Amino acid sequence: MRKNVRFEDQNNNWEIWKKNSSIERSTKRVVGKLPEMEATKQLVKILKKVYRPEYSILDFGCAAGHYLKALKRLNKNINYTGFDVTPSYINFAKNYFKKDQNVFFDVQSVFKMNKKYNKKFDIVFCANVLHHLPSIDVPLKNLLLATKKICIIRTLISNNTHLSRFYYDDSTDKKGFLNNFQFQNTYSYSLFKKKISKFGKFKVKFIKDEFDGAKINKEFTTKERKKYPGLTKYLQGTQIAGSKVFEFNWAIITK
């Protein structure tokens, strides 16, 4: 990472996927052991309004490629690229989708994207990634650099900024500091738009998250919670992870 990046959080040990790649449940969704995410359904709904058959799509933070299965409802031969920083996810996706045409996967970091991908995709989307990062400035820049037309982001956005960590357990490093955590950062609407404005004149539209709470809770089982402590549950119209309210929103960014 470039030294001139100013992070909201200075911790250098935040990439929990490097320590435990099994924390991501994307592979289970790809093979059908878990149902399609509620967010996936809304993503397809949003894309239907802007997608055209000739468009290329980049899924930045694709994990094992579970969104691709749903995107085929738009076009069974969709021109899709998936980026993720975790090699094991990309290797799984390459093997599972190896027979699919117009599908490509690559190991790329949202903090350091290869310049050959600048302005290569008509639509770029990044879902459920930014709130797990120590800073979103460089990630936003790279997402906007990659797209020619539209960037779609799903993350935690609310009236106020709330930067926080969720600890999977109480394990510590050699210095005695708690270190097994994942960020759960919420950005205010105004700060999110301000960060985007640094990289040019863009139109930003926010769409409220839609979901079936009963289906979210169906996955919130004792077995799943034991293996994946950070699961969200539905309670009185709200998604909650641990002790934090999750206010997901979609940001539709156009040039």
132 in a structural domain: yes
Tens-digit pLDDT profile for residues 24-49: 678 899 999 999 999 999 999 999 99
- Give the pLDDT confidence score for residue 91 in this predicted structure: 95
146 in a structural domain: yes
CA dihedral over 115, 119, 125, 130, signed as positive or negative = positive
Query: What is the domain count for the chain?
Result: 1
Burial class of residue 71, CB neighbours in 10 A (0-12, 13-18, 19+): buried
> Partners of 31 in the beta sheet?
none
Do residues 9 and 133 touch, judged by C-beta distance below 8 A? Answer: no
Of 51, 96, 44, 33, which is closest to residue 70 (Cα–Cα)?
Answer: 44
207 in a structural domain: yes
Q: Which domain holds residue 111?
A: 16-158+187-211+246-254
- Give the pLDDT confidence score for residue 1 in this predicted structure: 40
229 in a structural domain: no
Alpha-carbon distances of 132 from 60, 88, 95, 164, rounded to whole Å: 14, 19, 27, 10
167 in a structural domain: no
pLDDT under 50 in the chain at which residues? 1-3, 5, 7-10, 21
170 in a structural domain: no
The identity of residue 255, as a single letter, is K
Tens-digit pLDDT profile for residues 96-139: 999 999 999 999 999 999 999 999 999 999 999 999 999 999 99
pTM of the model: 0.90
Burial class of residue 172, CB neighbours in 10 A (0-12, 13-18, 19+): exposed
Do residues 125 and 45 touch, judged by C-beta distance below 8 A? Answer: no
174 in a structural domain: no
- Give the pLDDT confidence score for residue 19 in this predicted structure: 60
What CATH number is given to the structural domain containing 62?
3.40.50.150
54 in a structural domain: yes
